[in-house]
Structure 1
Amino acid sequence: MNPSDPSSGGPPIIFDSARRATRLARSFGRFAGADFLHRRAAENAVASLEATLRDFPVAVDLSAHPSPFAELLTQSIAAHRVGLPRSMAGGAAAPGATSLPIADGSADLVVSLMTLHWANDLPGALAQIRRALKPDGLFLGTLLGAGTLKELRAVLTEAELSERGGAQARISPFADGYDGAALLQRAGFALPVSDVDRLTVTYPDLSALIRDLRSMGETNVLAGVIRPLNRSILLRAAVLYGQRHGDAEGRIPATFEIVNLAGWAPHERQPRPLPRGSAQTRLADALGVIEHKPGR
């Protein structure tokens, strides 16, 4: 059965997991110089734990680059409430591709930062995480959102069309951040929360942006045969980037969206919405306004 064939019933193969693992491995030696996105995601996750007055004795970290979260957690007031996170970075190159090496119902906390946007089956990966949690266990995750690298996506496409007469996809099809809560609900999480953290990073030129992406392990790993970009395409893209988005000093912006996700494994003690029609106070009374009947 071919997993990339929709008739097989499996998810489409969007990313090449072997290529992803290779790019990720190459990034480790340079990651410290370009860890700002992962550090920001880790800051958000640690802030959520600080605001959650619960103990999480068994914690698992599925982040491809776990060091920012581990470092910030040790400096946090929440450190004494969270067990030493067990890192599974080695298996995070293709989230959702295989079963998680975590027993169902065994973790109080699962963290996955800046990794899930590489999942071929994002709902399936989230469902695996939910099953790994104990009842009332917490999941904290981040992934890159749809607005990420929108400037780069546009200029690369235009440059390749101009130079070759056709263009391949070069930037991942990131998820829409506004779908985050729905994705968590679909995976079976209770009390889902999602928000989007947008930031713009300024670079001296296109080469500097590409160096950072390589250092993060965030370069193109889309499935299929990828025709390399030649020098003329990259030069054309750099010119277009500067013309469309550059400032007076020639610096260029790059947009990133970090989608923050939080959800709980269901438990009977969690709050639930009241049954429809059970309210004891009219909304008009609570707001101090006069209610008008339809047609008046």
Structure 2
Amino acid sequence: MRAVSLWLRRKHQLPLALAFRRFSTSNSKVKIFDRELKRTQRDRAAWLTPSHDPLLHTVAQNLLDRLQDCKKTFPTALCLGGSLQPITRSLSAPPGGVEKLIVMDASYDMLQACKNAHHNATVETHFLVADEEFLPIKESSVDLVVSCLGLHWTNDLPGAMIQSRLALKPDGLFLAAILGGETLKELRIACTLAQMEREGGISPRVSPLAQVRDAGNLLTRAGFTLPGVDVDEYVVKYESALELIEHLRAMGETNALYQMNNILKRDTALATAAIYDSMFSAEDGTVPATFQVIYMTGWREHPSQQKAKRRGSATISFNDIQKQFGSQN
């Protein structure tokens, strides 16, 4: 478990070329999240997010660290929504092996902010306004797809991952970080107790998120080979629950459920903050918030990749192994 301090505000701007295209939002049959509301939230977050947020930076760096284990390079990369600036900043920095970078988001304002923050990058960069649920990317056209804290807002996560796989060239790599089910567990508890106390019932205030046990199945279902999943938990300390809410707004991570009561009563909000403080406050007066991040890696199939041996092809049995090691005791 890692402790991450609150974000620091620092201006850091670098320009890049801009090539915008507009696409309509996806017409997914599954309606869990309001994609138009999420786009609006990301428009707002574009002006609230500081240039360096320690939580977003840490998650982005831990995700891209997985590239260090790869011996191959990825000339053409696609960055999907979520935490764009830390990812594009790292992929644009030499010597990363990336020659062409496509940055995609449903929010025009978020892309504009990302463009304004990267003026000195040497990588050919294109910015694309589009929805992760409907990728306007030619099949087998990119070597790397990276999504940092964005895909957990898609209505059809397996479908979005399948489209990412199809966009990859054979032996292309998919890297993604999504928030897991233990994220904001403190806020969930406080909000539930406050609603039961003040309103006599519960309405969803924190979005449903994928569980760790589901991540491997998602990769397999999407058709990726050599799937890999691991999890980190980051604990961020805030001065109050209200400061946590402001941080969530700045990250574009506030609730976007398709069916929810948009009006949160003032007394319920104040009760939530009071319960949060009384149940979880530390000795120094701060309150913690847990962010569980699930990291996923997968490859598009290629003949050069390692494959599992066919059933029955083993040349030694488990009984023989047991006898061999047992005889040494």
TM-score of Structure 1 vs Structure 2, range by shorter chain: 0.7 to 0.9
Q: Does structure 2 retain, via aligned residues, the 8 Å contact 1:123–1:183?
A: yes
Q: Tell me the equivalent position of 2:297.
A: 262
Distance 1:258 1:142, change over 3 A: same
Deviation at 1:131, TM superposition (A): 0.8
Deviation at 1:43, TM superposition (A): 0.5
* Equivalent of 2:49 in 28, 31, 44: 31
Q: Which amino acid aligns with 2:37?
A: R
Q: Which amino acid aligns with 2:194?
A: A
C-alpha distance in 2 between matches for 1:279 and 1:255: 45
Deviation at 1:34, TM superposition (A): 6.9
Residue 88 of structure 1 aligns to a residue whose secondary structure is strand
Unaligned stretches of 5+ residues in structure 2:
1-25, 108-128
* Equivalent of 1:66 in 84, 96, 102: 84
2:262 is the alignment partner of 1:199: no
Q: Does structure 1 retain, via aligned residues, the 8 Å contact 2:240–2:287?
A: yes
Residue 211 of structure 1 aligns to a residue whose secondary structure is helix
* Equivalent of 2:193 in 158, 169, 178: 158
2:266 is the alignment partner of 1:250: no
C-alpha distance in 2 between matches for 1:110 and 1:227: 34
Q: Deviations over 1:55-107 (max 9, x none)?
A: 21111111233110121234465x1x2223210123688532xx201011111
Distance 1:102 1:73, change over 3 A: same
Deviation at 1:162, TM superposition (A): 1.1
Compute the RMSD of aligned alpha carbons. Answer: 2.2
Residue 326 of structure 2 aligns to a residue whose secondary structure is coil
* Equivalent of 1:277 in 300, 307, 312: 312
Distance 1:149 1:163, change over 3 A: same
Unaligned stretches of 5+ residues in structure 1:
5-9, 292-296
Q: Tell me the equivalent position of 2:251.
A: 216
Q: Does structure 2 retain, via aligned residues, the 8 Å contact 1:20–1:93?
A: no
Q: Tell me the equivalent position of 2:65.
A: 47
Q: Does structure 2 retain, via aligned residues, the 8 Å contact 1:34–1:215?
A: no
- What is the TM-score of this pair, normalised by structure 1? 0.88
Q: Tell me the equivalent position of 1:90.
A: 106
2:180 is the alignment partner of 1:145: yes
Q: Tell me the equivalent position of 1:294.
A: none
Residue 62 of structure 1 aligns to a residue whose secondary structure is strand
Q: Tell me the equivalent position of 2:269.
A: 234
Deviation at 1:148, TM superposition (A): 0.2
* Equivalent of 1:22 in 22, 40, 47: 40
Q: Which amino acid aligns with 2:146?
A: V
C-alpha distance in 1 between matches for 2:61 and 2:213: 21
Distance 1:103 1:23, change over 3 A: same
C-alpha distance in 2 between matches for 1:36 and 1:145: 19
Q: Which amino acid aligns with 1:26?
A: R
C-alpha distance in 2 between matches for 1:207 and 1:159: 15
C-alpha distance in 2 between matches for 1:194 and 1:69: 19
Distance 1:65 1:247, change over 3 A: closer
Q: Tell me the equivalent position of 2:31.
A: 13
Q: Deviations over 1:173-203 (max 9, x none)?
A: 0000222111010011111111111111111
C-alpha distance in 1 between matches for 2:29 and 2:289: 31
Q: Tell me the equivalent position of 1:290.
A: 326
- What is the TM-score of this pair, normalised by structure 2? 0.79
Q: Which amino acid aligns with 2:90?
A: L
Distance 1:67 1:84, change over 3 A: farther
Distance 1:225 1:197, change over 3 A: closer
Q: Which amino acid aligns with 1:19?
A: L
Q: Does structure 2 retain, via aligned residues, the 8 Å contact 1:106–1:132?
A: yes
Structure 1 window deviating more from structure 2 (211-220 vs 66-75): it is: 66-75
Residue 32 of structure 1 aligns to a residue whose secondary structure is coil
Q: Tell me the equivalent position of 1:7.
A: none
Q: Deviations over 1:6-60 (max 9, x none)?
A: xxxx643110111100011000112126733322221122211122111211111
Deviation at 1:239, TM superposition (A): 1.5
Distance 1:106 1:40, change over 3 A: same
Residue 85 of structure 1 aligns to a residue whose secondary structure is strand
Q: Which amino acid aligns with 1:160?
A: Q
